[in-house]
Chains A and B, each alone.
Chain A
């Protein structure tokens, strides 16, 4: 595919720019920019592996519709995709993100992945959050180490915030972290319940019957607006509540500058849905997270970046249960007033069988760690040296992606 058909996604141009930026030594320019501002960074971990091809659909790719079939987004129909140019369409559940994109305050990185190439959630999450080359090293996460590596006296290092009962791995480590959970926030149980019902149906019908009845009653209560603060409430609502609370904390003058939250539920093996359905509901929840930070941070939104990342993508071809299985390349979402947005950054690999990774997955062409390094360098002023040594150890060859934030 010719890059000229895709004016908004020239990898060569972007990586070239990044190389140039970081070739000019340890970027005092960005460091001083960061020091002059009061930047805020939020990292949202989407656990379970997000289907990037249903979230940000390459509708312009001639092979897409045939691979993604019932799940494929379209320009037309009852729930048309939201246009991000002529090639990519955003899932219609993400209206706020589309608005921010149009205002150049949001961008997508597509066909991206970490260096991890197997397909285990656990290991993939280890790599994504620890920032190490291999799974199993879970004593600290890259975001925490980034805080520890901030220039001395940098206010942003004063406090970090982890949302939820326990800190996500990405935020664990030596730098002190505040923990906060909205009352009533609980791990989302809908996906867990579905899996458990499956198991009980096979292995223990008596428990299946009881649990089903319990879940039915719970859903009924939720529909009637009862119980919304209790565990098991609607996942989109829980995500939004968590984001609003976190944003309010981060909006305080002496509040944390860096936050992390993790959202489970993205492992859509069956009945994934496309423009509507389960994944769309989750994406709507994520859309609400972006909107919550934008709304709550007010004037500080212009100094904010919210990044949403996942451990890997899903198969390009849908499976026999109208879902997708574990894959490789996927998308990352970035939103925030500090961004030079309105772009999809991608070196599009194509979707012909020969173009796919292992003939099944979207091939990753942009290293996700380069994107994260770019954010940490330009937004927080971390040196390329610290990024390559302590934040993402042994990644000297992975250059930070430049030009992400507005000059």
Chain B
């Protein structure tokens, strides 16, 4: 097997989302095409008028959740009062705050008393999630190579939030990627870091909206206290990396610095509901020392300065370079490659387009054998691309991701989904890949002959064993499944 920069398939598989029919035989220089994708106008942005901003989404979520809570309260009262009692009056009597809404929705309360089920209603957070998921899938199916989309996915996973973190988490996960990741995926790391840490989805995910400085006004009122979660993950996961020299004291100091970074709630006391706000009343009003530097700024400027400095730490460059190379090239990437990427990161002050270019320019990124197993997201996208399918309904793809253990925007923890092959080659995982490939192939109609597709998608690097296995399949359907399951398709 040979791997050269002239290999379109390698470029598509390693840096993009895999071959669509005909891609393997493209003319021209794949490296130049990768650069061109980085420079394309629009960058990583998504312009889609159907997608809504975080505040728009969260305002709907707030309203929906408030209404649901009221319904639950009404139902609880009805249960207490006994089924024979007419509930609306009880609700009005016992919940004066809720009564205007209850009165304006007699059908709703009435349905409670009659015991009839409400018409199923899609919560706004689910609507928002699906809308963003649909667009993310569509972008990935359609990208000529998909390098920029892969970068977005990488950074989105690096700075992950989770839809499992309540209604706000579900509603805002897609918008978070659009608003905090995409605008900076080809920009500066420090800008992305700041955009991420002040985004409502992240403040909610890592509990910073509850973090209150003990000496702040709110702290004096004993509202609650400091929450270190966000500060710890910024140092451990987002920037410097675990064991890179920061101390517990640094974590605590950063947590103080970030007190007051929160989300405007439903009532809108501090601004437009669902937006980021710096709440001075919750901010620890003192100077702080982080990593040996003193931060004396007032208000939000203190945190902005601290994050800007952490982004420039040498440990951050090393941490990012290793993760970047591990994601694209190999579980244990060439040390020289990592070193060179870290250098570029430092020298360009975290220019992420420069980082991406440096990866593509590095021989080590091309010469490594294709040992990495495609993660479920990459596998799903690559399968659709190989068969030139661009389904509008995100349901089947999202379902496949759930079954394969990589539900969209729902990692198990703030460290995101694993970037190591072993995480995805569990016995259960491989068995599920088999079953899903069979199901996927079962729905293929009007695809090229299986061996033509092997030539096209896998190319000359398809092993004789793979070719023979596909050619001996007992049906086209089985042949397609075997193509999708072949080592050449599973690994990149």
Contact = CB atoms under 8 A, between A and B. Distances in A.
A47 B435 contact: no
B438 A47 contact: no
Given A122-B450, A264-B477, A232 B466 contact: no
A218 interface: yes
A202 B465 contact: yes
A166 B474 contact: no
A217 B478 contact: no
A186 B427 contact: no
A357 interface: no
B394 interface: no
Interface range for A: 35 or more
Q: Is the interface of A mostly helix, strand, loop or mixed?
A: helix
A191 B487 contact: no
A125 B469 contact: no
Contacts of B430: 207, 210-211, 214
B220 interface: no
B463 A211 contact: no
A206 B421 CA distance: 11
| Pairs of residues from A and B, 8 with the lowest C-beta to C-beta distance, nearest first | A267-B474, A214-B431, A214-B427, A48-B474, A213-B427, A204-B487, A211-B430, A187-B438
Interface of A: 47-49, 121-122, 125, 138, 164-166, 186-189, 191-193, 195-196, 198-200, 202-204, 206-207, 210-218, 231-232, 264-267, 269
B438 A210 contact: no
Contacts of B362: none
Contacts of B428: 214, 217
Contacts of B486: 199, 203
Interface stretch (B99-107, B257-265, B406-414, B441-449): B441-449
Interface of B: 425-432, 434-435, 438-439, 441-443, 445-446, 449-450, 463, 465-466, 469, 472-479, 481-482, 485-487, 490-491
Contacts of A191: 474, 478
A217 B482 contact: no
B426 A203 contact: no
24 contacts: A121-B473, A121-B476, A122-B449, A125-B476, A165-B442, A187-B438, A187-B439, A189-B434, A189-B438, A195-B469, A196-B469, A196-B485, A199-B486, A200-B487, A210-B426, A210-B429, A211-B434, A214-B429, A214-B432, A231-B435, A231-B439, A232-B431, A264-B474, A269-B472
A47 B477 CA distance: 10
B478 A192 contact: yes
A199 B442 CA distance: 20
Given A192-B438, A211-B434, A215-B431, A203 B475 contact: no
B395 to A, nearest CB: 14
A352 to B, nearest CB: 29
Contacts of A211: 427, 430-431, 434
A38 B213 CA distance: 81
A363 B490 CA distance: 42
Contact of B442 (A122, A166, A216): A166
Nearest to A197: B434
Contacts of A189: 434-435, 438
Nearest to A198: B469
A195 B478 contact: yes
Contacts of B446: 138
A49 to B, nearest CB: 7
Contact of B434 (A48, A121, A196): A196
Given A165-B439, A199-B482, 18 more contacts: A121-B476, A122-B476, A122-B479, A165-B442, A187-B477, A187-B481, A188-B438, A189-B438, A191-B478, A192-B434, A192-B478, A196-B482, A202-B463, A204-B487, A206-B425, A213-B427, A231-B435, A265-B474
